[in-house]
A and B are shown apart, each in its own frame.
Chain A
Amino acid sequence: MIRRVCALLLRELSVFYFSPIAYVVLFFFLILNGLSFWFAIALLRQGPSELTVVQAFFNTLFFWTAYLFVCPVITMRLFSEEFKLGTVETLMTAPVRDWEVVASKFCAALLFYLTLWLPSLLYFLVFGWLGNRDAVGSGAQLWGPYLLLLLMGAFNISLGCLASSLTSNQIVAAMMALVFILGIFFLTMIDYVVSSASPLFRDITAYVAQIDHMDTFSRGIIDTRPLVFYPTCSALVLLITYHVFQYRRWKA
């Protein structure tokens, strides 16, 4: 079973990493992230501040733009392309289980997502190397946001997988994924709009609020709630994706 999953994962990874498109995405994504970092330190340079560079970097509009748009781009072709090119028939008749296909595609997308984000760690190294180590904050203030980024990314990728499994058109898949991701993201905003809501309502919106989660983790606070919320929801969405993928098998 492990061998089959590894083979499928390698197949998916080779599609990602042997395609020049992936490097074009990586190139532009890194430019956007670089600018985000540069703006963060330009902002902090204006005067004394209590914000660390990590807080400034992970709570900017640039960061959220990159974060929200990258997952639909990564996942749009995962299943739709197979449906469009007809290779899904080969895949479905191959001696692999459907859940192995879904898991391998999800893991490959997640690894590529990490490839996009990990270079940003270098920014903080460069920054520390230039003599401002203190302004990066504590160790947890650095690894906390990356841990959260991994979990939030996994959830968004699972939503992207689901969207891609629903259609054979990549653009439609990307749009659907974007709607799913933005829909959940904007749930966060309810708390900002309804100022005199009840404490329970505020707690519920705070439970799913990605901006709040990132703010908390970038301050160096590790909260167990996002650590439970994102993995369980990702698992649920992947289960739905698996059934949508299987639907092609039993609908005929």
Chain B
Amino acid sequence: MSEKRAKPYRIPRARIALNVATQIILAAIIVFLINYLSFERFARWDLSRNRKYTLSPLTRNVLGSLKKELKVYVFFSPNGNQSAGSELFEDIESLLKEYEYAGKRRVHVETIDPYKDLTRARELQDKYKFGPNENQVILDYDGRQKSIPAATMADYGDSGLFEDQNQTFKNFRGEQVLTSALIQLSQEQPAKIAVITGHGEPVVNEDADLSRFRSALEHQNVVMQGLSLQGLAKIPNDFVAVVVAGPQYDLNEQESNVLRHYWDDGGRLFILLNGRAKTPLLDSFLNQLGIVPAIDLIVTTVKTGIEEESVTLDVYSHFLNSTPFLKPMVDAIGFLPGGTRSIEVDESKLKALGIHATKALVPAIDTYWGEKDDFLANNADPAFHPGVDLKPPLVVGWAVEKGAVEDQTIQVRSSSRMVVLGNADFIRDESLTRSAPNTNFLLLCINWLTDRQTLLAIPPKESPIYLLDLRPAQMNEIILIVVGGIPLLAALLGVFVWVARRR
């Protein structure tokens, strides 16, 4: 009787392969689903010192309420180190990364690197009208745009005027600035600004030489409209500010009175004086407020050869941080071409009227003087005459305010504000192209006048700056320990193991 041995059952390889493939595919699907959940629902905890990367609830609300895609373009110039705000690049990038996360794919940030993509850089420069050396962030939401100069996103420490250009970066307030701009873009109607006409002022909406000025304001969501004061009783209420852009002819009594009433009613004025024009009534209007434009032209001599000198009307000037809204610009140099008047103030009158005036702009070097002779009409060479001409220090721009509320977080339009500048040509394309700080100055002035500076209750973030205090001897100690000592310990351990194993 023979027992038939059962053949061992052999699973076909194809079935094993199918089983393995199924296992792997199922596992891959599970891994994909877990990661999909993690991708959609994630958390981020900011455990950095100072909680530097934590967005405020206000910013989160604003980003959460976006209905359309917000495009953010970060443009930093290849000559970044020389441009204002270049040191903020890392901070701005980190901050915008948090905006992207909080915006849940409604925020699209694009950093434009001209080295990597020159075509894209040029395309955006043409679209948003900014120069290749300007560091800025552009917000584009629902067809409305706003440009933010990078330098406006930080507070800087004091630095001595005419001394070294390096100033200390204190606080980063990018979130304040960006969220403020975003609120304006997403909620506000464009601000309307009146540009006075009828006295030979440039026509801002037509003059080809003012295209950069126009686009700079358009990108701040500001609309400009010409306004003739002739026969007008008061400035219409729908204008948030009034610009007097270098009249060639003087105002008349009635026009001057309209401006005066506007100022008294909490108006906002941006007055650019024409250095080559005589405007006694406009000067008188300013005189009544304690602002005294001098009848002069600021000049200096420049060397044009070994022993040759010539006189120039171009004034290079410093922005002063005594005017708070200009703090981001204190290391920048402005360029005022064409003819600039100096402006003084009557302290006693200012005090009597309760007006607070701060210096905004002064010539960058002390060789400038205020020439009183009408040398342009006389076709004469100007020369400094002590006792007659105005000697330095001269001031070419003032920021003036009456009735300000001390608490910066209160957003009420309670005060009259005015910026007076002794130059009208700085808004022309030639000047704005030549000097990027001029554009920033212009935007800061307009934002201050239209209450658009960052009054949001988002505290600025203190940026800890580390300066390694290591002497050369300490550096040697470090290299000795980290490159010599620690690897040597590992090598000794290896030798010990090797010897132990041989025994």
A residues with CB within 8 A of B: 17-18, 20, 22-24, 26-28, 30-31, 33-35, 37-38, 41-42, 44-45, 47-53, 119, 122-123, 126-127, 130-132, 134-135, 137-141, 144, 192, 195-196, 198-200, 202-204, 207, 216, 219-225, 228-229, 232-233, 235-236, 239-240, 243, 246-247, 250-251
Contacts and interface: CB of A to CB of B under 8 A. Distances in A.
Interface string B438-465: 0000000000000000000000000111
A142 B11 CA distance: 53
For A22, A140, A243, A246, which residue has the most chain B Cβ atoms within 10 angstroms?
A: A243
Interface stretch (B295-303, B391-399, B402-410, B485-493): B485-493
B483 A130 contact: no
Interface in B1-54: 11, 13, 16, 20, 23-24, 27-28, 31, 34-35, 38-39, 42-49, 52-53
B158 interface: no
A124 to B, nearest CB: 10
Contacts of A246: 20
Given A49-B465, A239-B27, A141 B49 contact: yes
A225 B39 contact: yes
Interface string B163-194: 00000100000000000000000000000000
Contacts of A123: 482, 486
B67 interface: no
B490 A30 contact: yes
Given A45-B468, A49-B466, A223 B44 contact: yes
A243 B24 contact: yes
A236 B31 CA distance: 7
B94 interface: yes
B265 interface: no
A135 B478 CA distance: 15
B474 interface: yes
B24 A240 contact: yes
B112 A195 contact: yes
A26 B490 contact: yes
A250 to B, nearest CB: 5
A45 B47 contact: no
Contacts of A131: 469
Nearest to A123: B482
Contacts of B491: 23, 27
24 contacts: A17-B497, A20-B494, A20-B498, A22-B494, A27-B487, A31-B483, A31-B487, A34-B484, A38-B479, A41-B478, A45-B470, A126-B478, A126-B481, A127-B478, A130-B477, A131-B469, A132-B470, A138-B47, A199-B108, A207-B35, A219-B52, A220-B47, A220-B53, A235-B31
Nearest to B46: A221
Given A219-B48, A250-B16, A228 B110 contact: no
A155 B477 CA distance: 36
A33 B31 CA distance: 34
A137 B48 contact: yes
Interface in B42-82: 42-49, 52-53, 69
| 8 shortest interchain CB distances as A-B pairs | A23-B494, A220-B48, A140-B47, A34-B483, A34-B482, A228-B38, A30-B487, A135-B466
Contacts, number: 188
A140 B49 CA distance: 9
Contacts of A132: 466, 468-470
B437 to A, nearest CB: 23
B261 interface: no
B468 A199 contact: no
A4 B91 CA distance: 52
B39 A207 contact: yes
B283 interface: no
A70 to B, nearest CB: 14
Q: Which of A44, A45, A221 has the most CB of B within 10 A?
A: A221
B272 interface: no
B14 to A, nearest CB: 11
B412 interface: no
A211 to B, nearest CB: 13
Contact of B42 (A51, A196, A224, A243): A224
A137 B469 contact: no
Contacts of B47: 138-141, 144, 220-222
Contacts of A52: 466
B28 to A, nearest CB: 6
A50 B464 contact: yes
A128 to B, nearest CB: 12
Given A18-B497, A41-B468, A199-B105, 6 more contacts: A23-B494, A27-B494, A196-B120, A228-B38, A232-B35, A247-B20
A233 B28 CA distance: 9
A135 B120 CA distance: 38
B487 A34 contact: yes
B18 to A, nearest CB: 12
